Structure formats: structure tokens, C-alpha cells
Amino acid sequence: AERGMAGSGWARAVRGLLLDVSGVLYDSGADGGVPIAGSAEAVRRIKASGLKLQLCTNETQATRENFVRKLRALGFDISVSEVTAPAPAACRLLRERGLRPHLLVHDDLVPEFADIDKTNPNCVVLGDAAENFTYANLNEAFRLLIGMEKPVLISLGKGRYYKETDGLKLDVGAYMKALEYACDVQAEVVGKPAKRFFESALAELGVPAEQAIMIGDDIVNDVGGAQQCGMRALQVRTGKYRPSDENHPEVKPDAYVNNLAEAVDIILQQL
């Protein structure tokens, strides 16, 4: 506790926490993943303290319902309303702008778009489609885009790659770049680090930016993105964290913590 208290001015006057999920709560994998030690207990302690909590994830391989089911099976006390994810944010954007998407996404994500008109598409929505990233599906999405007077490409994140138990996988950002180049367009990214996505998460958290702290393992998409919205942001030394992150040329977290449990220790001491 003494070590944790040192220089912890960053933890003052906090009323809510935004938590990244993969690499903070658990490490993902084909087998469902493994919880990070102390994280399930940390979530319980946050809730018991009266702090507000919202998960802020770029997960697009499952509906929020299935994602929450997985987290609960791993021991996390989380409900669907406590998850901010790209697909619902994309649905709001589609409705606002009268866009009818062609979906190139994971099969398990499709139900998130059940209430959206998908006839006669006038945009393409790209998620981490995984096995659905076939030659035929990519050509189909490309042809629709290039055939539009003004192609609209909406990408659920822009990650380069991620790690699963059976190895590294290309993430949605790589396929986004392929379509951007072929169609000479720039994708609109929904999800972290988009400012609007963090603002949605804050609205769902019910706490203004200056009273919220983002906790994540991604120096750019979690920490940098949250700070751009006026939040404080911590980087955990779990998940995809690498020591070289601490020398990032542009992004400097308000603090480093070894893991979520340590972050919660320090924050609760300040309440």
C-alpha cells in the first residue's frame, strides 16, 4: 500500500472507471481465455466501493450478450449494459445517417445489426470477420464500395493484429487498409481510439471525463484515445503491454500499474 500511494495524485476525485477487457480482465484465446490474476476480485471491489464502472472494448467477434456470457463464466460480475462495444455504436451512426450496410463481419456479430435495414446497401461495415475474410467476401465488399458514387467504409476498429492461443491473427485494420487502397477512400473508424466512441462510453458511465479514468493495455488505442477526450488514463503491464511502450514518442499515461488489481488498490485508498 505504501508503494501504491507514492505519487498517486492521478487517482484523486475519481467517480468512474472505464476498463478495457482483453489484456486487462482476461487473456483471450480459442478456449475462451484465462482471467488475469486479481481482476475478477478487482471488479467486485470497484462495484462495492460505489465507483461507477463501464467496460470499453473493441471486441467485434460476438454480440455483447455472448461476450458478457463468456466474461461471467470466467468469474466477472458484469452485465450487458456495462459494456460499450463498436457494433452498437455503429448501429447508432447508421441510423443517424440513413445508411444501409453491407456487413463483412463475424457471423456471431450479425445479430447486433438485426434491426438495421440492410437492403440495397449504401455503405460497407467491416469488423473482425475472421474466417469470413474470404477472397469472395472481400471482392464482394470491394465491388459494392467501388460501385458507390461516394464510397462509405465504416470499420469497427483499426487494430493491426492480435494474439490467440494458436498464434497471431491479422486484425480488422489490415483489411480496412486493403479496401481503403483499392477504393481510394478513408474508412471511418468506430471503436477506440475514436473520440466519439469514448464519449459514448462516458455517457453510459454517467461521469464526466475529468472524473473518469481509463485503464487499458494499449498505449495508443486505450491510453492515447482516452487522454484526447480529457480523461486520465493508466496503462497496465498485462496483455499486449511491452516495455518499449514506456518510451512511446507521443503517448504518456498518467501512471503505470502492474495490473488492474494494483490500480484498484491505489484508487480505493484515495476515496
Q: Name the residues that contact a second copy, by CB under 8 A.
A: 130-135, 138-139, 142-143, 146, 160-161, 167-171, 173-175, 177-182, 184
Contacts of 163 (CB under 8 A, 6+ apart): 169, 240
Distance CA(191)–CA(90), nearest Å, equals 9
Q: How far is the CB of 177 from a second copy (least distance, A)?
A: 4
Q: How far is the CB of 259 from a second copy (least distance, A)?
A: 26
- Residue placing its CB nearer to a second copy in the complex, 131 or 149: 131
Distance CA(238)–CA(88), nearest Å, equals 27
Q: How far is the CB of 47 from a second copy (least distance, A)?
A: 37
- Residue placing its CB nearer to a second copy in the complex, 59 or 171: 171
Distance CA(43)–CA(71), nearest Å, equals 12
Q: Which three cell numbers stand for residue 248?
A: 512511446
Q: Scanning the structure block, which residue is given the C-alpha cell 488492474?
A: 260
- Residue placing its CB nearer to a second copy in the complex, 41 or 180: 180
- Residue placing its CB nearer to a second copy in the complex, 138 or 209: 138
| Helix boundaries (H) for 116-171 | 135-146
Cβ-contact 236, 23 below 8 angstroms: yes
CB atoms within 10 A of CB 12: 11
- Residue placing its CB nearer to a second copy in the complex, 176 or 257: 176
Q: How far is the CB of 167 from a second copy (least distance, A)?
A: 6
Distance CA(39)–CA(151), nearest Å, equals 43
Cβ-contact 193, 221 below 8 angstroms: yes
Q: How far is the CB of 129 from a second copy (least distance, A)?
A: 8
Q: How far is the CB of 72 from a second copy (least distance, A)?
A: 29
Cβ-contact 35, 71 below 8 angstroms: no
Distance CA(234)–CA(227), nearest Å, equals 10
Q: How far is the CB of 187 from a second copy (least distance, A)?
A: 12
- Residue placing its CB nearer to a second copy in the complex, 31 or 166: 166
- Residue placing its CB nearer to a second copy in the complex, 96 or 247: 247
Query: Distance of CA 264 to CAs 85, 101, 161, Å?
Result: 23, 40, 29
Q: Which three cell numbers stand for residue 131?
A: 474466417
Distance CA(215)–CA(166), nearest Å, equals 27
